[in-house]
C-alpha cells in the first residue's frame, strides 16, 4: 500500500536568529502545507538540514510534526545515515514517535558497493515495521542506487515501499519502473521531472517547490494521476523558471530565502550553508512573482 499519492513537501526546518529550531514557524508551515493541499510531510531530510541537526533536535522535530499534523496527512521522517547502525537507531526512534514512514538517503562519502547498499537497507528496514522510501541522489552522496538493487530489495524486504528518484536519469527511472513492476512506488525527487516520472508510472513527488507553491505542485501531480497529461505538462513547463531559481544555489539555501520572502521567517540555514547572495535573491524574487507565489 502506498504511503501517499501526490505531492510530498520536503519541508524546511525553520530557525531562530540564535540557530535553534523555531517551532512557532514550524507550526505555521505545517498548517500552510495542509491547507495548500500537500499530501505528505517529509521532515528532517536534505531540505530540513538534517546533517546539522543533532539527534535530540532531529527526533524532537519529528515528534513535533507528528503532533501538529494530527494524522491529517502522513509524516515521513528522514532517518538515513552513512552509519548503518545510527540509521537503525534513528529509524526505531522515529517509529516510536509516531512517524508514518521513513526516508533513507543512500550512504554518503563511504561510496558503498551495490551489495553494501543492499545490506545497509536490508538492515534498516528489518529493524522497523514502517514503510521505507529509499532516496537516490547521487549528486549529493556520490553513490547511485541501481534499479537492479532496488528490485532485489523489493523482492526480499516487504516494507521497502518506494524510491525517491533524484538521479536525473530518466532512462534509469524507466529501467527501475520495468524491474520493480509496481512492487515499489516511485516518487520524483526532482521538481523539473515530475511529469516525466509520473508518465513512467511514478505516483508523486517529494518536492522542494511545494514549500512555496503547495497547491500548484499538488495539482500538477493530480493531473498526471488522473490522465490529464497535457495540462500537467503545461504546469511543469510554467514551473521550470522558478525551479531553476530554487536550485541556483545548493538546496535549501534558495527555498529558505523564498519562504522568508513569503513572510514565513524561517531564518537562515545553518553553517556550512550560508545566506543566498543578493544577486540570486533578486532573480529568485522575479521568478516567484512571475509564477504567482509572491
Question: What are the catalytic residues?
Answer: 135, 164
Helix, strand, or coil here: 264?
coil
At 277, list the grid cell: 547572495
- Alpha-carbon distance 97 to 87, whole Å? 15
* Angle at the Cα of 218 from the Cα atoms of 34 and 209, rounded to 5 degrees: 90
Neighbours of 139 (CB within 10 A): 10
At 98, list the grid cell: 509516531
Contact 145, 176 (CB under 8 A): no
- Alpha-carbon distance 260 to 268, whole Å? 9
* Angle at the Cα of 273 from the Cα atoms of 29 and 80, rounded to 5 degrees: 70
Angle, in degrees to the nearest 10, between helices 278-291 and 229-246:
160
Angle, in degrees to the nearest 10, between helices 84-96 and 114-125:
30
Amino acid at each position: 500500500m502506498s504511503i501517499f499519492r501526490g505531492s510530498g513537501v520536503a519541508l524546511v526546518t525553520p530557525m531562530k536568529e540564535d540557530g535553534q529550531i523555531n517551532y512557532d514557524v514550524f507550526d505555521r508551515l505545517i498548517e500552510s502545507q495542509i491547507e495548500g493541499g500537500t499530501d505528505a510531510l517529509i521532515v528532517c531530510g536534505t531540505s530540513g538540514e538534517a546533517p546539522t541537526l543533532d539527534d535530540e533536535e532531529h527526533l524532537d522535530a519529528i515528534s513535533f510534526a507528528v503532533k501538529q499534523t494530527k494524522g491529517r496527512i502522513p509524516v515521513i521522517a528522514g532517518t538515513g545515515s552513512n552509519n548503518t547502525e545510527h540509521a537503525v537507531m534513528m529509524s526505531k526512534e522515529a517509529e516510536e514517535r509516531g512517524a508514518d514512514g521513513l526516508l533513507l538517503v543512500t550512504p554518503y562519502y563511504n561510496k558503498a558497493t551495490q551489495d553494501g547498499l543492499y545490506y545497509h537497507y536490508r538492515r534498516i528496514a528489518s529493524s522497523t515495521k514502517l514503510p521505507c522510501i529509499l532516496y537516490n541522489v547521487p549528486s549529493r552522496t556520490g553513490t547511485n542506487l541501481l534499479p537492479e538493487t532496488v528490485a532485489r530489495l523489493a523482492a526480499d524486504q516487504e516494507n521497502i515501499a518506494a524510491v525517491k528518484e533524484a538521479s536525473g536519469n530518466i532512462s534509469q527511472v524507466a529501467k527501475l519502473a520495468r524491474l520493480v513492476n509496481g512492487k515499489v512506488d516511485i516518487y520524483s525527487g526532482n521538481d523539473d521531472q515530475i511529469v516525466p516520472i509520473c508518465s513512467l508510472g511514478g505516483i508523486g513527488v517529494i518536492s522542494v517547490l511545494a514549500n512555496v507553491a503547495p497547491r500548484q505542485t499538488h495539482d500538477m501531480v493530480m493531473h498526471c494521476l488522473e490522465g490529464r497529461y497535457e495540462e500537467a505538462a503545461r504546469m511543469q513547463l510554467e514551473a521550470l523558471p522558478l525551479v531553476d531559481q530554487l536550485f541556483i544555489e545548493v538546496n535549501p539555501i534558495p527555498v529558505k530565502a523564498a519562504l522568508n520572502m513569503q513572510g514565513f521567517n524561517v531564518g537562515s540555514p545553518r553553517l556550512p550553508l550560508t545566506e543566498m547572495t543578493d544577486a540570486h535573491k533578486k532573480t529568485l524574487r522575479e521568478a516567484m512573482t512571475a509564477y504567482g507565489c509572491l
